[in-house]
Each structure stands twice: as C-alpha cells, then as structure tokens.
C-alpha cells in the first residue's frame, strides 16, 4: 500500500443508533486482496487489502442488513473482486461496476446475473484519467436496457463542465457524496443551490448523503459542518437519497473515521423514522432489489 495510506479503523465502536431491519450500506468498496485480485496497472493509488469478509463483519457489527459495493478506481474496469464478493454475499450485496465502452452485451448480462445494478462514471481528476463524454454516452446507452443506473462522482467545481452530459443520461443517476460541496460555504449559497437545482429539475437524479469525514473541515466525531447539507437533501428529496459508510475510506489523509460514529450521525441527518426508513431501506431497495418492491 502507499506509504501514507491510512488503513480502515481496526475496532469501530458499536453504534448507539440501531438502524431499522433491512438497512443498506449503499456505498462501500472491497480492495483485493491484492494477491488474489491484483490492483489495476492504471490505478492512481495502492490501498491496503480490505476484503469481503471484513466488510460482512462490519455490516453485522453496525447493525446493517445489506451492502452496495461500488467498484473503486484502484481496480479499474476489472470487476473480479466485486463479482467475487457479490457471489459470496448470499444475496446480501449488490454492485456498481466500471466498464469500458467496448463492453459486450454478454459481459453486461454476466455482471447483471452476478448482482451488478449500475455503472460508475468517475470525473474526479486525482482518481482517473479523463474519459471522453462520447465514450460515457455509449456506455449509458448500452446499460440502460438492463434497467441499471449510473453513479457519478465529481467535485463541486466540475459540475458546470459535466452538466450537459449528466442531465442527458437516459437512466436513474446517483451522485456520490452530495457532489462534494465546500461545506465552509452556506447551505443556501450559490454552490450548493446549483446542486439542489440539479435534483429539483431532474427527477431521475439522486444523491448519496455520505462521506461527512471527507467533506468536513471541523472533523470527527460530529462533523457538524456537513450535517446541515445532508439533512437538507434528506428533507427535500426524501425518496432520492442513499446513505453509505464509504468503508474502507480510500484516500483519507486527515484521519480515519470510526464507522460506528458514522452510523450514529444518521438520526441527525434523517430526523424522523419515516425519513430513516426511506433513506436506509426503501430507497436502496428500489434501485438495487427492485424485484422486492
Ligand atoms: C470514494 C471516494 C474516493 C475514491 C474512490 O473509486 C475510488 O477510488 O471512489 C476518493 O478518493 O475520494 O467514494 O470511495
């Protein structure tokens, strides 16, 4: 792993908040193990191993029921570690893959059978080489017939550049980590207003209210500066928000969050039982286990 890599918390606390039955961690990753699933040559970082069994142990410890495993950029478009985890999950995990524009329909069907329900487009420059919008458009057209959605990851400053692509996508679209707002700015300020408008004007666009540890400038355990942003989205778009741990927290440099404390923030971002049921159970079910709806 990279010399300055911070490994995930070895002993997260038991949350005081108990999530409802069926609660989903809708944003987490598996890394390797590298000996079995080597990291991609084009990766921008080399993490510690963080395998499926550790993820299941965390799920159970936190009182969560299911996971959505998102392909991380360190594995590029090689989805083998993801598919291996899905196969071992007893149906308790679904996945979001990374594919290239030349992916075949047969490969997509195989991923679908493994439990993949979406692809991720990553626009964060420190994580990936730039992908052409034309290529992403080709991928979007290929995956749409499967009923999959597209997860997108960008920094707030990149939104104007990608706006035409994002708003033309033919599927449901889920934005990672609230579009990474600068939380030192006001919730009602122009930067976050632009993101809110994106959701307001496009009913197919959702947001993950995840990663306070990544966005916060005041830091743990309360991440007080991030809560108003997450809560705003949960209250305004209760049926289009997802929550996740982001375990094993790639590229965290300031500190490693205690996952139990992240769970304890949920009642502060979703203050009523109905909002929590939507955020943790019903919304992820509609995207990832639609056969149950
Ligand atoms: C996240 C955030 C990051 C990394 C990745 O796929 C990835 O490598 O998403 C990051 O470095 O901000 O969502 O896991």
Is the CB of 246 within 6 Å of ligand 1? yes
pLDDT confidence of residue 231: 98
In SS3 terms, the chain reads as CCCCCCCCCCCCCCCCCCCCCCCEEEEECCECCCCCCCCCCCCCCCCCCECHHHHHHHHHHHCCCEEEEECCHHHCCCCHHHHHHHHCCCCCEEEEECCCCCCCHHHHHHHHHHCEEEEEEECCCCCCCCCCHHHHHHHHHHHHHHCCEEEEECCHHHHHHHHHHHHHCCCCEEEHHHHCCCCCCCCCCHHHHHHHHHHHHCCCEEEECCCHHHHCCCCCCCCCCCHHHHHHHHHHCCCCEECCCCCCCCCCCCCCCCHHHHHHCHHHHCCCHHHHHHHHHHHHHHHHCHHHC
pLDDT in tens, 226-268: 999 999 999 999 999 999 999 999 999 999 999 999 999 999 9
Q: How confident is the model at residue 80 (pLDDT cuts 50, 70, 90)?
A: very high
Residue 173 has pLDDT above 90, yes or no: yes
Going from the N-terminus, what domains does the chain have, and what CATH number goes with each? 24-292 (3.20.20.140)
If one residue of 32, 48, 72, 178 were mutated to test the ligand 1 pocket, choosing by the most ligand atoms within 8 A of its CB, it would be 72
Is the CB of 127 within 6 Å of ligand 1? yes
- pTM equals 0.97
């Amino acid at each position: 792993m990279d010399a300055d890599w911070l490994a995930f918390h070895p002993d997260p606390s038991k949350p005081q908040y108990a999530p409802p039955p069926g609660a989903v961690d809708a944003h987490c990753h598996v890394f390797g193990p590298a000996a079995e699933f080597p990291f991609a040559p084009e990766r921008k970082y080399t993490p510690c191993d963080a395998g499926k069994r550790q993820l299941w142990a965390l799920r159970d410890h936190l009182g969560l029921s299911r996971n959505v495993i998102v392909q991380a950029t360190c594995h590029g478009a090689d989805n083998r570690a993801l598919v291996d985890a899905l196969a071992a999950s007893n149906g308790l995990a679904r996945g979001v893959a990374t594919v290239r524009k030349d992916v075949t329909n047969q490969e997509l069907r195989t991923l679908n059978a493994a439990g993949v329900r979406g692809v991720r487009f990553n626009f964060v420059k420190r994580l990936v080489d730039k992908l052409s919008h034309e290529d992403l458009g080709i991928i979007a057209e290929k995956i749409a017939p499967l009923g999959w959605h597209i997860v997108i990851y960008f920094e707030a400053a990149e939104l104007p550049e990608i706006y035409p692509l994002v708003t033309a996508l033919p599927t449901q679209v889920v934005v990672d980590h609230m579009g990474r707002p600068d939380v030192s700015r006001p919730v009602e300020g122009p930067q976050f207003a632009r993101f809110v408008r994106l959701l307001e004007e496009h009913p197919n666009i959702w947001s993950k209210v995840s990663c306070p540890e990544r966005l916060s400038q005041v830091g743990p355990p309360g991440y007080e500066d991030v809560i108003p942003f997450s809560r705003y989205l949960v209250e305004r778009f209760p049926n289009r928000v997802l929550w996740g741990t982001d375990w094993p927290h790639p590229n965290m440099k300031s500190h490693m969050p205690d996952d139990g404390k992240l769970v304890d923030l949920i009642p502060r971002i979703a203050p009523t039982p109905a909002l929590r049921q939507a955020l943790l159970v019903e919304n992820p079910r509609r995207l990832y286990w639609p056969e149950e709806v």
